[in-house]
Amino acid sequence: MSYKVFVDGQEGTTGLRIHEYLARRPDIEVLRIDAEKRKDNAERARLLNAADVAFLCLPDAASREAVSLVDNPNTCLIDASTAHRTVPGWTFGMPELAPGQRDAIRASKRIANPGCHASAFILALRPLVDAGLVPADAAVSATSLTGYSGGGKKMIEQYQEGGDVRLDAPRPYALGLAHKHLPEMAAHTGLQQPPVFLPVVANFYKGLAVSVPLHLSQLKPGTDASALRHALAERYAGEAFIRVMPLGGDPATVEEGFFDVQACNDTNRVDIFVFANAHQALLLTRLDNLGKGASGAAVQAMNVHLGVEESLGL
Ligand SMILES: NC(=O)C1=CN([C@@H]2O[C@H](COP(=O)(O)OP(=O)(O)OC[C@H]3O[C@@H](n4cnc5c(N)ncnc54)[C@H](OP(=O)(O)O)[C@@H]3O)[C@@H](O)[C@H]2O)C=CC1
Ligand SMILES: CC(=O)N[C@@H](CCC(=O)OP(=O)(O)O)C(=O)O
């Protein structure tokens, strides 16, 4: 069985990476658009409607436009943008989200893939909220340290051009406290309010780690760090792409005393850590923003949708 797959936005950062994954797949015929026609709506419509699966690796407005070009009921759209992640009729493309999510992805023709920061946040919090350890009305905060490829072609150019000393140091952003991932962070964790969220971009290509500090006194009475870790490990037992690390970190992290944000790069893996003292815990979740944070996750969602081996090509 061979599937036709088109990437709208094939020349972009996530689109190029998806092509690398697809190149390993004998079961996939890639439909390509001529580079000079990549913004020609008639040509995009032809390819979108010829595809069994089309990835949208576009800015939000162009993604919405792509959706309007599709009239073939068999075309499954997997949108990497922020446009549809909390929109009714769209399925959140995170198979590990909750029991039943794989069936929903399999059945849906409209799949919205999670944002990179949101993926790490949701994977760490959702099992804890579901288990009642973190109350749904908890007020949490989160920080994300990310490589600059998360900002797409423009930001990559800016960093790689060099010559601007301001880019040497990490840069906090989204200071209006309205980052575009906040709605999905609340909607898909079950938290009643989004976190106070501070992303920080720094001068390395890719890799991302989201940290969520928790005061144990604000959790379900009696909750300690091992209860947090246990709930995560129980939820993700058997998941191919999620590792719940030993309490306090793996030996390398503990011995060196520094956290390696890039250790999941070039994988589709997510590592979740719980660090703690007697009164506080810190959830720290890392992934490759271009892997499980974007292109890897999109291919994984496609595999689930098509009913093929979930880790094929990843
Ligand atoms: N980079 C990352 O880590 C992640 C990105 N995402 C999301 O994925 C989407 C794509 O991001 P990314 O690949 O980084 O972005 P890029 O800026 O690298 O690429 C976007 C591509 O879309 C093309 N494009 C823009 N408008 C249109 C249009 N109207 N019709 C057809 N093509 C168009 C651009 O063309 P041109 O070549 O002319 O610029 C470019 O090639 C975004 O919504 C982003 O937010 C999601 C998760 C992580
Ligand atoms: C460094 C940087 O700018 N990163 C992007 C995140 C990219 C991403 O995953 O977001 P979407 O999937 O929602 O596009 C940002 O924080 O806006």
Same-domain check for residues 73 and 145: no
Ligand 2 centroid – CA 223 distance (Å): 33
- Quick check: is 176 in a domain? yes
- Contact 95 CB / ligand 1 (< 6 Å): no
DSSP character for 90? -
In a domain, 274, yes or no: yes
Shared domain check, 123 and 109: no
Q: How far does the centroid of ligand 1 lie from the alpha carbon of residue 56, in Å?
A: 8
pTM for the model: 0.96
Same domain, 103 and 148: no
Is the minimum distance from the CB of 180 to ligand 1 under 6 angstroms?
A: no
Nearest to 102, CA basis, from 290, 241, 283:
241
Ligand 1 pocket, 153 CB below 6 A? yes
- 147-172 confidence digits (pLDDT tens): 999 999 999 999 999 999 999 999 99
Task: Read off the CATH number of the domain in which 59 is found.
Answer: 3.40.50.720
Spatial CA neighbour of 183 closest among 175, 171, 191, 174: 191
Sign of CA dihedral 290, 291, 292, 297: positive
Is 15 close to ligand 1, i.e. is its CB under 6 Å away? yes
- Domain span at residue 62 reads 3-113+294-306
Asked if residue 86 and residue 140 are part of one domain, the reply reads no
- By alpha-carbon position, which residue is closest to atom 11 of ligand 2? 115
**Contact partners, residue 82, CB within 8 Å, separation at least 6:** 60, 115, 180, 181, 184
Pocket test for ligand 1, best of 10, 13, 19 (most atoms within 8 A of CB): 13
b/e map 191-214, b = 16+ CB within 10 Å: beebbebbbebbebebbbbbbbeb
ipTM of model: 0.94
Q: For the domain that residue 192 is a member of, what is the CATH number?
A: 3.30.360.10
Q: Is residue 256 part of a domain?
A: yes
Give the total number of structural domains in the chain.
2
From the CA of 270, how far away is ligand 2's center (Å)? 17
Is the CB of 152 within 6 Å of ligand 2?
no
pLDDT score at 90: 98
Is the C-beta atom of 145 inside 6 A of ligand 2? no
Do 89 and 222 belong to one domain? no
The pLDDT value recorded for residue 75 is 98
The answer on 214 and 251 residing in a single domain is yes
pLDDT in tens, 191-248: 999 999 999 999 999 999 999 999 999 999 999 999 999 999 999 999 999 999 999 9
What is the model's pLDDT at position 5? 98
Residue 311 lies in a domain: no
Residue 261 C-alpha from the chain's centroid = 15
Q: What is the pLDDT of residue 103?
A: 98
User: Which atom of ligand 2 has the smallest separation from the CA of 201?
Assistant: 1
Whether residues 185 and 266 share a domain: the answer is: yes
Question: Mean pLDDT of successive 10-residue segments in the chain (314 residues)?
Answer: 94 94 96 95 98 97 98 98 97 97 98 98 98 98 98 97 96 98 98 98 98 98 98 98 97 93 98 97 98 98 98 96
Residue 255 CB neighbours (<10 A): 9
Q: Which pLDDT belongs to residue 1?
A: 76
Q: In this structure, is residue 253 part of a structural domain?
A: yes
Catalytic (active site) residue 57: no
| 107, 161: one domain | no
